[in-house]
Amino acid sequence: MSLINDILIEESEIKNYAKGDTLAEKAEGLLKQQTETWELLRNNYSDLKKVEVRNFEFDGFNVKVQFNPGRIISSSAKVDKDSIKNRKCFLCMENLPADQKGLLFGAEYLLLCNPFPIFPHHFTIPKLDHLPQMIIGNLSDALQLSKELGKFYTVFYNGPKCGASAPDHMHYQAGNKYFMPIDDEYPSVIENSARKILQNENLTVYAVDNYLRNFISIESNSKKNIVEIFQSFYKIFEKISDDKEEPMMNVQFFWDDVKWRVIIFPRQKHRPSYYFEEGEKNIMLSPASVDLGGVNITPREEDFNKITKDQIIDIYRQVSISKEYFEYLIKEVAKFGNETEAE
Please tell me whether residue 79 binds Zn ion under the rule CB under 5 A.
no
Burial class from Cβ neighbours inside 10 Å (0-12, 13-18, 19+) for residue 186 reads: buried
Stretch of 130-138, 151-159, 249-257, 312-320 contacting Zn ion, by CB under 5 A: 130-138
Please tell me whether residue 92 binds Zn ion under the rule CB under 5 A.
yes
Q: What is the DSSP string of 209-235?
A: -SSSS-EEEEEES-HHHHHHHHHHHHH
**Which three-class secondary structure state does DSSP give residue 302?**
helix
- Secondary-structure percent of the chain, ordered helix, strand, coil, rounded to 5: 40, 25, 35
Check residue 79 and give left, alpha or beta (phi > 0: left; psi -120 to 50: alpha): alpha
Please tell me whether residue 169 binds Zn ion under the rule CB under 5 A.
yes
Question: What is the smallest separation between the CB atom of 87 and Zn ion, expressed in angstroms?
Answer: 10
**Which three-class secondary structure state does DSSP give residue 314?**
helix
x-marked contacts with Zn ion along 26-45 as a string, rule CB under 5 A: --------------------
Check residue 213 and give left, alpha or beta (phi > 0: left; psi -120 to 50: alpha): beta
Q: Which is nearer to Zn ion, 91 or 145 (CB)?
A: 91
Question: What is the smallest separation between the CB atom of 92 and Zn ion, expressed in angstroms?
Answer: 3
- Determine the size of the site formed for Zn ion (CB under 5 A): 5
Stretch of 2-10, 21-29, 90-98, 205-213 contacting Zn ion, by CB under 5 A: 90-98
CA-atom Rg of the chain in angstroms: 20
Question: What is the smallest separation between the CB atom of 41 and Zn ion, expressed in angstroms?
Answer: 20
Please tell me whether residue 223 binds Zn ion under the rule CB under 5 A.
no
Q: Which is nearer to Zn ion, 161 or 169 (CB)?
A: 169
Please tell me whether residue 7 binds Zn ion under the rule CB under 5 A.
no
Question: What is the smallest separation between the CB atom of 146 and Zn ion, expressed in angstroms?
Answer: 23
Q: What is the DSSP letter of 91?
A: T
Stretch of 108-116, 166-174, 226-234, 272-280 contacting Zn ion, by CB under 5 A: 166-174
Q: Which of 32, 42, 54, 130 binds Zn ion (CB under 5 A)?
A: 130
Please tell me whether residue 89 binds Zn ion under the rule CB under 5 A.
yes
What is the rounded CA–CA span in Å between residue 104 and residue 140?
17
Burial class from Cβ neighbours inside 10 Å (0-12, 13-18, 19+) for residue 130 reads: middle
- Residues near Zn ion (CB under 5 A) are 89, 91-92, 130, 169
